[in-house]
Amino acid sequence: MGNRRKIGVILFLLPPVAGLIAWWFIPPVAQPESYHAFADHRRILGIPDFWNVISNFPFAVAGIFGLRAFRDFASRLLFAGILLTTFGSAYYHWSPDTPHLVWDRLPMTVAFMSLLALVIHISFGAKLGRALLLPLVAAGLASVAWWHFSGDLRPYLLVQFAPMVMIPVALVFFEIPARRELWIVVILYGAAKLADAFDAQIFAVALLSDHTWKHLLAGLATWSIFKWRKAVNSDW
């Protein structure tokens, strides 16, 4: 193994290891109730928070196309998670509160972890990718269950953000086919999370809340995932 790849392996493992260590030192993180106070509450066609609900449609497009295009188990889990995010997120935004948020986050963790397993599959080999797929997905689901029953967000935050650091490391240090599409995924998702931090300001300028833009940007990211998976076209 060359020095560059050794450095890549260390940096790839650093986010989850650092996150698990930090778990012991950072106190439990609660879900702030202010999270549900979105700027745009307009009811249109009888649908409350219309734009936050309807802007989940791009997830359905990517999910359906992915399920039709791929037959391997990892890709089906990935695009099933994306498709189910459409309904989980719409359900949450129809009546935004912490209990409904569980159904938004469960399918998202399936998508996060399945994508990470596919990247591991390509970066480190099919055997490791297959071996880690179900444990990673189970860890993602367990992080939401932990938060739901304990009120502690720490495991979920690790599951959500660690892959978005690990994947760029893989793109820099390992041979990832069609890397342009995967970089687009990282950039769009990063932009979506950034938009999430400026709700009222974005609503005042763009007439749609940050969460609507977050959905649209993240939806474009899922389409880039589809394009990346299509370009890679490797057997699981």
Q: What is the pLDDT confidence band of residue 235, given thresholds at 50, 70 and 90?
A: low
Q: pLDDT: is 222 or 204 the higher one? A: 222
As a whole number of angstroms, the distance between CA 221 and CA 187 comes to: 8
Query: For residue range 12-42, what is the model confidence (pLDDT) as tens digits?
Result: 999 999 999 988 899 999 998 888 777 677 7
Average pLDDT over residues 115-128: 94
pLDDT at 231 over 60: yes
- For the CA atoms of 86, 216, 122, 117, the dihedral, rounded to the nearest 10 degrees, stands at -40
Backbone angles phi, psi at 47, to 5 degrees: -100, 120
Q: Which of these, 228, 131, 156, 150, lies nearest to 188 by C-alpha position?
A: 228
Q: Tell me, what DSSP letter sits at residue 33?
A: G
Q: Give percent of the chain with pLDDT exceeding 70.
A: 90
pLDDT at 207 over 70: no
As a whole number of angstroms, the distance between CA 56 and CA 175 comes to: 33
Backbone φ/ψ region at 64: left (φ over 0), alpha (ψ -120 to 50), beta:
alpha
In this prediction, residue 203 carries a pLDDT of 52
Q: Which long-range contacts (CB under 8 A, 24 or more apart) does 81-86 make?
A: 81/107, 81/108, 81/109, 81/110, 81/111, 81/112, 81/114, 82/107, 82/111, 82/222, 82/225, 83/59, 83/107, 84/110, 85/56, 85/59, 85/111, 86/56, 86/57, 86/59, 86/60
Q: What is the mean pLDDT of the chain?
A: 89
As a whole number of angstroms, the distance between CA 108 and CA 78 comes to: 9
In this prediction, residue 61 carries a pLDDT of 96
Q: Distances from the Cα of 220 to the Cαs of 85, 102, 192, in angstroms?
A: 14, 23, 10
In this prediction, residue 76 carries a pLDDT of 96
What are the residues whose beta carbons fall under 8 Å from the beta carbon of 210, sequence distance 6 or more? Answer: 38, 39, 195, 196, 197, 198, 199, 201, 202, 203
Domain positions in the chain: 47-232
pTM above 0.85, yes or no: yes
Q: What is the pLDDT confidence band of residue 200, given thresholds at 50, 70 and 90?
A: low
Q: What is the pLDDT confidence band of residue 192, given thresholds at 50, 70 and 90?
A: confident
Which amino acid does the sequence have at 195?
Answer: A
As a whole number of angstroms, the distance between CA 195 and CA 39 comes to: 13
Angle at 48 between CA 213 and CA 149, to 5 degrees: 80
Q: pLDDT: is 208 or 136 the higher one? A: 136
Query: For residue range 153-178, what is the model confidence (pLDDT) as tens digits?
Result: 999 999 999 999 999 999 999 989 99
pLDDT at 138 over 90: yes
Question: Residue 117 in contact with residue 136, Cβ under 8 Å?
Answer: yes
